[in-house]
């Protein structure tokens, strides 16, 4: 872990397999994959099994200021793979501020993609707002994807908290490889 963490300072991407076999949630992937995703200075891709290479790249958009790094990674990856992006924003309407409708979620999603569609004109992007528990909706969206890209915006000193609950859940349960991209602060 220490060697890979050190190498991440100059790497563009760290790719690891998931081989955790324990019953604890933190051990589903193995401690190395979780720790790297929480601490590296470059994106980390965790691959569970042989990727299918088909389907879109699912980009989870949260609208955070640091989320642009994940959006940029997804567009660059889509251009390399000649893949479509399925950009999704999952939200809980019942917990939205009063007067907030789906239009604000759609606007958040569109604003997060602004500029990237012009920089990557050959990348086809499909946008979708998903209503429901974000972890569940994103894991469901990964079902036909070749890659899921999520940001890491967790806070705190523990490895698991550095990812955030949604990123951690997707990392553990997605049906495709997952790239965790730390935002630039």
pLDDT digits (tens, 9 = 90+) for 31-64: 677 777 777 778 888 887 766 778 999 999 988 8
* pLDDT for res 158: 41
* pLDDT for res 155: 46
Tokens of 69: 């790094």
Q: What is the 3-state secondary structure (H, E, C) of the chain?
A: CHHHHHHCCCCCCEEEECCCCCCCHHHCCCHHHHHHHHHCCCCEEEECCCCCCCCCEEEECCCCHHHHHHHHHHHHHHHHHCCCEEEEEEECHHHCCCCCCHHHHHHHHHHHHCCHHHHCCCCCEEEEEEECCHHHHHHHHHHHCCEEEEEECCCCCCCCCCCCHHHHHHHHHCCCCEEEEECCC
**Is 3.40.50.12370 the CATH number for 52-182?**
yes
Answer yes or no: are the C-beta atoms of 170 and 138 closer than 8 Å.
Answer: yes
What span, in angstroms and rounded, lies between the C-alpha atoms of 166 and 144? Answer: 19
What span, in angstroms and rounded, lies between the C-alpha atoms of 18 and 182? Answer: 19
pTM metric for this prediction = 0.85
* pLDDT for res 14: 85
Q: Within the chain, which residues score under 50 in pLDDT?
A: 21-29, 155-162
For residue 3, the tally of other CB atoms under 10 A from its CB is 7
What span, in angstroms and rounded, lies between the C-alpha atoms of 72 and 119? Answer: 10
* pLDDT for res 89: 93
Instruction: Give me the count of residues in the chain.
Output: 185
* pLDDT for res 159: 41
Residue 60: which of 167, 160, 143, 132 has the closest Cα? 167
């Amino acid at each position: 872990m220490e060697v890979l963490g050190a190498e991440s300072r100059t790497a563009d991407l760290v790719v690891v397999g998931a081989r955790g076999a324990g019953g604890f949630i933190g051990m589903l992937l193995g401690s190395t994959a979780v720790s790297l995703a929480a601490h590296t200075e470059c994106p980390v891709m965790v691959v569970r099994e042989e990727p299918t290479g088909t389907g879109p790249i699912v980009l989870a958009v949260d609208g955070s200021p640091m989320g642009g790094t994940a959006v940029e990674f997804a567009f660059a990856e889509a251009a390399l793979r000649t893949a479509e992006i399925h950009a999704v924003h999952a939200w809980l309407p019942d917990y939205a501020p009063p007067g907030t409708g789906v239009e604000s979620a759609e606007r958040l999603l569109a604003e997060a993609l602004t500029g990237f569609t012009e920089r990557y004109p050959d990348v086809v992007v499909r946008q979708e707002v998903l209503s429901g528990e974000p972890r569940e909706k994103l894991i469901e969206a990964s079902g036909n994807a070749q890659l899921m890209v999520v940001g890491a915006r967790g806070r705190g000193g523990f490895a698991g908290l550095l990812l955030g609950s949604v990123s951690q859940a997707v990392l553990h349960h997605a049906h495709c490889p997952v790239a965790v991209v730390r935002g630039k602060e």
